[in-house]
């Protein structure tokens, strides 16, 4: 039925045909409408410009509102909009050649026919992202007792499942996982397929800190989780269970007032996404703008400490966490990050910062925050479009290369230029829209700043690894306090080996082929030595940073990218010190 009419012409000729104007989607027209998007800075209610937040305060409480006439904070660093990344080639055109101003009479007739046949759901522009078919409506256990009961039931189930797995393997004469993958966690009876399913079911039920850790596991590659376990854990990344409508309405009333429905034209009570901290609903503002409303699960913020302790106990039971890991330090850092993620006002400030930093970027899009519908537990942003990056495996090689190069380039810019990084590497936070050839960035709750001292030392560690300078890697690691200088020679060698392996993409001239890399397996072979001889925990900044960089590398491997990492880093290194000398 001439599908272009429903998309390309519905918005363009809406006023010509009469009736209500077509609604906007995410503040831009969707990819099928072929209308160039207006880019620019952020704006608040009634189009008033928003003041950028003070990024230096983002590690703690959100900044207080400024009084009228009070001076604004220093401007954010400008986003890099130079000639492009090395290896990208000329930029793509963004559908700016549509000539919709001269429609023929026959076009108008067919457009009218198309409008008459569009159903209410299609006309509303339903969000592309949908809940997993396995997601269920389940009340979130908000009390500590209720959440503890869920973890206790899981512990019993894991023990029974592990005994069953050991018995089954003994009867079959098997000492290793049947999949033959050799994965790090594949040989543990506590992480059999049945037990993995039990873990995922409990994580999706309790959500919160426990599910966040499960999501970290879900993006590991075959060397860490077997393919069978990856498929099971994929559910925690794709969709948690969602809370019933009565719980949703209660949170909205507590945060936005009993009259919250009067502030929107419509609200879908069934979410289209459910994650670790909250779930996301489709809403429509009074002006027709479609928005994503993220609503925090009740009791999540208050349960962070107990959730992390409960899950760590389970992981120790299943031998997933080595005894030599600095678990208390890891717990403290993770707890702080999760507390940040539960503060939706802070996340809104971070999103505004990234929208400003990336204003004018042709590849990345940050949706606008709707301030009047954002509180401590409700975050409203314009609706994005596209599919998660892990669903882009079948795209052409050049498109996958470009996606991965841009994502890696952005991550390095965040660290070495902005000194402000969105550290959640969950692939569901990056949505690729093939029609616009853009990636929409989502979920800024884990964003954090980095000090100049840290980035000065860290960029030199990467440079030393790229240059093959082992002595400098060790010295800069001491400057960063990764090592004390009193460790054994065996530990120092293992540490430097790890850094050199991680630096291989930046040391290889030309294109680095991520599809053939064995980085994860080689690094994991060195972990036992480092855990046995480590004298100090890593610096706090490194936890989130390495999680993000590992996520980028795993994405590149997942999409089988071939990109010029060496040239990319060398350019960024030169730009970094040029800025510092000019500062």
pLDDT for res 208: 61
- Of 87-91, 201-205, 571-575, give the range with the top mean pLDDT: 571-575
pLDDT in tens, 345-376: 999 999 999 999 999 999 999 999 999 999 99
Concatenated DSSP letters of 245-291:
HHHHHHHHHHHH-TTGGGGSSEE-SS-SEE-SSEEEEEEE-TTS-EE
Confidence band (pLDDT; 50, 70, 90) for 27? very low
E strand segments, 140-184: none
Which is it for strands 364-365 and 420-422: parallel, antiparallel or unpaired?
Answer: unpaired
Look at residues 186, 178, 181 and name the one whose alpha carbon lies nearest to residue 318.
186
Helix, strand or coil, per DSSP, at residue 479: helix
pLDDT in tens, 408-437: 999 999 999 999 999 988 888 999 999 999
Residue 235 Cα distances to 136, 231, 390, angstroms? 12, 7, 13
Tokens of 88: 């990208």
Record the pTM. Answer: 0.67
- Residue 449 predicted with pLDDT over 90: yes
pLDDT in tens, 99-148: 333 444 454 444 444 433 333 344 334 345 665 555 556 565 555 444 44
pLDDT for res 194: 67
Say which residues have a Cβ less than 8 Å from residue 131's Cβ, sequence separation at least 6.
239, 242, 270, 271, 272, 273, 274
Residues of the chain with CATH 3.30.200: 241-274+277-298+342-384
In angstroms, the CA 414 to CA 437 distance is 21
Which is it for strands 387-388 and 430-433: parallel, antiparallel or unpaired?
Answer: antiparallel
Alpha helices in 318-444 (DSSP H): 327-341, 344-357, 397-413
Say which residues have a Cβ less than 8 Å from residue 180's Cβ, sequence separation at least 6.
none
pLDDT for res 251: 96
417: DSSP letter: I
pLDDT for res 71: 38
Are 161 and 317 in contact by the 8 Å Cβ rule? The answer is no
Tokens of 344: 């939706």
Q: Which residues pair with 25 in a beta bridge?
A: 28, 290
pLDDT for res 516: 82
* Of 424, 433, 443, 497, catalytic: 424
**Dihedral, CA of residue 131, residue 137, residue 140 and residue 145, to nearest 10:** -130
User: Ramachandran region of residue 458, left (φ > 0), alpha (ψ -120 to 50) or beta?
Assistant: alpha
In angstroms, the CA 244 to CA 138 distance is 6
> For this structure, is 349 an active site residue?
no
pLDDT for res 111: 41
Alpha helices in 468-564 (DSSP H): 470-479, 489-502, 504-507, 519-533, 540-558
Confidence band (pLDDT; 50, 70, 90) for 303? confident
Look at residues 342, 341, 335, 276 and name the one whose alpha carbon lies nearest to residue 309.
335
In angstroms, the CA 462 to CA 454 distance is 12
Residue positions counted in the chain = 583
Residue 186 Cα distances to 223, 318, 567, angstroms? 9, 12, 37
Helix, strand or coil, per DSSP, at residue 237: helix
Residue 106: half-sphere exposure toward Cβ, Cα within 13 Å: 1
Are 514 and 561 in contact by the 8 Å Cβ rule? The answer is yes
For 390-398, what is the mean pLDDT?
Answer: 95
For domain 241-274+277-298+342-384, say whether CATH 3.30.200 is its number. Answer: yes
pLDDT in tens, 214-272: 555 544 445 445 565 555 556 555 556 788 899 999 999 999 999 999 999 999 999 99
Higher-pLDDT residue of 267, 308: 267
């Amino acid at each position: 039925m001439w599908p272009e009419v429903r998309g390309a012409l519905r918005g363009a000729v809406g006023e010509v045909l009469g009736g209500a104007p077509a609604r906007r989607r995410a503040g831009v027209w969707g990819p099928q409408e072929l209308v160039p998007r207006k880019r620019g800075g952020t704006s608040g209610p009634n189009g008033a410009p928003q003041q950028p937040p003070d990024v230096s305060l983002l590690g703690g409480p959100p900044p207080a509102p400024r009084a009228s006439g009070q001076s604004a904070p220093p401007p954010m660093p400008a986003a890099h909009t130079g000639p492009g990344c090395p290896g990208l080639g000329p930029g793509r055109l963004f559908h700016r050649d549509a000539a919709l101003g001269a429609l023929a009479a026959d076009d108008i007739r067919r457009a009218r026919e198309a409008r008459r046949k569009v159903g209410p759901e299609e006309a509303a522009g339903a969000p592309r992202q949908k809940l997993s078919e396995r997601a269920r409506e389940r009340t979130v256990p908000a009390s500590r007792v209720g959440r503890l009961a869920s973890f206790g039931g899981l512990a019993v189930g894991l023990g029974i499942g592990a005994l069953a797995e050991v018995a089954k393997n003994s009867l079959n004469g098997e000492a290793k996982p049947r999949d033959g993958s050799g994965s790090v966690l594949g040989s543990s009876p506590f992480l059999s397929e049945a037990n993995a399913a039990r873990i995922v079911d409990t994580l999706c039920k309790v959500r919160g800190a426990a599910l966040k850790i499960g999501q970290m596991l879900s993006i590991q590659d075959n060397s860490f989780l077997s393919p069978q376990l990856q498929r099971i854990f994929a559910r925690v990344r794709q969709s948690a269970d969602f809370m019933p409508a009565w719980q949703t309405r209660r949170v909205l009333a507590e945060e936005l007032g009993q009259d919250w429905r009067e502030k929107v034209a419509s609200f879908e009570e069934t979410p289209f996404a459910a994650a670790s901290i909250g779930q996301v609903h489709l809403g429509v503002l009074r002006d027709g703008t479609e928005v994503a409303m993220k609503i925090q699960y009740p009791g999540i913020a208050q349960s962070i400490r107990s959730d992390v302790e409960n899950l760590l106990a389970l992981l120790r039971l299943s031998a997933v966490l080595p005894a030599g890991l600095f678990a208390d330090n890891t717990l403290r850092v993770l707890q702080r990050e999760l507390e940040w993620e539960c503060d939706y006002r802070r996340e809104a400030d971070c999103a505004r910062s990234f929208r400003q930093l990336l204003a004018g970027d042709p590849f990345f899009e940050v949706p606008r925050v709707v301030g009047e519908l954002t509180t401590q537990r409700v975050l409203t942003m314009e609706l994005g479009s596209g599919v998660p990056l892990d669903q882009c495996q079948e795209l052409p090689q050049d498109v996958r290369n470009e996606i991965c190069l841009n994502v890696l380039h952005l991550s390095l810019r965040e660290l070495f230029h902005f000194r402000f990084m969105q550290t959640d590497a969950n692939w569901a936070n990056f949505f690729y829209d093939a029609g616009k050839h853009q990636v929409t960035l989502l979920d800024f709750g884990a964003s954090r700043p980095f000090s100049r001292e840290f980035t000065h030392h860290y960029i030199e560690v990467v440079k030393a690894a790229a240059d093959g300078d082992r002595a400098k890697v060790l010295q800069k690691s001491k400057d960063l306090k990764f090592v004390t200088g009193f460790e054994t020679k065996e530990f120092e060698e293992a540490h430097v080996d790890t850094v050199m392996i991680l630096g291989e993409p930046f040391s290889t001239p030309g294109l680095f082929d991520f599809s053939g890399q064995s980085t994860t397996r080689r690094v994991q072979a060195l972990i036992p030595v480092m855990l046995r001889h480590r004298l100090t925990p890593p610096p706090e900044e490194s936890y989130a940073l390495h999680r993000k960089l590992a996520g980028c590398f795993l994405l590149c491997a997942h999409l089988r990218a071939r990109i010029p990492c060496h040239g990319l880093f060398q350019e960024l290194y030169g730009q970094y010190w040029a800025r510092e000398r000019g500062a």
